[in-house]
Chain A
Amino acid sequence: DAGVIQSPRHEVTEMGQEVTLRCKPISGHDYLFWYRQTMMRGLELLIYFNNNVPIDDSGMPEDRFSAKMPNASFSTLKIQPSEPRDSAVYFCASSLFPPRGEKLFFGSGTQLSVL
């Protein structure tokens, strides 16, 4: 298996533009997580899905952020409109069971820069 695949690896955009980040979880995994990583706040959980259904989105910063999982093999995180403070690395992770340690697999992340 190729692991969790995220695209793009890098995204540079201007303030006010829409940004869409994509994730393909490991085949067969039931859980999908979106994390944001910054130097100041570390890794923050934004939202997670179980069987394509959003379970907890309490970490989503504001209404500008939205996430979808239309099927078991694809998820998107959208920011509209983007702001410079959204600049961060966004990670997608998936797991087969509730993520007890070794069962949580991360993608390589999307480095987002909003100018």
Chain B
Amino acid sequence: GESVGLHLPTLSVQEGDNSIINCAYSNSASDYFIWYKQESGKGPQFIIDIRSNMDKRQGQRVTVLLNKTVKHLSLQIAATQPGDSAVYFCAEMRAGGNEKLTFGTGTRLTIIP
């Protein structure tokens, strides 16, 4: 069935290095993508989003890249900090899919001091 998934369940990165978290989606009708961050004991928190008419979007220390050809999404975090340790989810919304977001299973990012 259609799904939003992640290539790796865990990722460890040295503090100060850059990290890349990947996400694959299968529905070519998806037109909006979001990355969320979830810290332990908390609900997901919005990081950055991108629409399907864009290939790249930058925020503060984060960049999202969208490759529609291979249905791939990535989140790049620059100069990682201990506070970046969390589970990261990609989510997609499909054109005409009313107000429903579909979430991937998540990648746990651990920052090594």
Chain A positions within 8 Å of B, measured between CB atoms, are: 4, 31, 35, 41-45, 48, 50, 55-56, 91, 93, 98-102, 104, 106-109
The answer to whether A43 and B89 touch across the interface, beta carbons within 8 angstroms, is yes
With CB as the reference atom, state the residue of chain B lying closest to A6. Answer: B43
Q: Which residues of B contact A100 (CB under 8 A)?
A: 32, 49, 93
Q: Contact between B103 and A101 (Cβ–Cβ < 8 Å)? A: no
Q: Is B105 an interface residue (CB 8 A)?
A: yes
Q: Are A43 and B49 in contact (CB under 8 A)?
A: no
A48 and B103 within 8 A (CB): no
Interchain CB contact under 8 A, A42 and B49? no
Number of A-B contacts (CB under 8 A): 55
Q: Is B42 an interface residue when CB atoms closer than 8 A count as contact?
A: yes
**Cα-based distance from A108 to B39 in the complex (angstroms):** 10
B34 cross-chain contacts in A, Cβ below 8 A: 101
Whether B89 pairs with A42 at a CB distance below 8 angstroms is yes
Are B46's CB and A102's CB within 8 A?
yes
Task: Report the Cα distance A55→B99, complex, angstroms.
Answer: 10
Contacts of A41 on B, CB cut-off 8 Å?
105
Contact A101 B43 (CB under 8 A): no
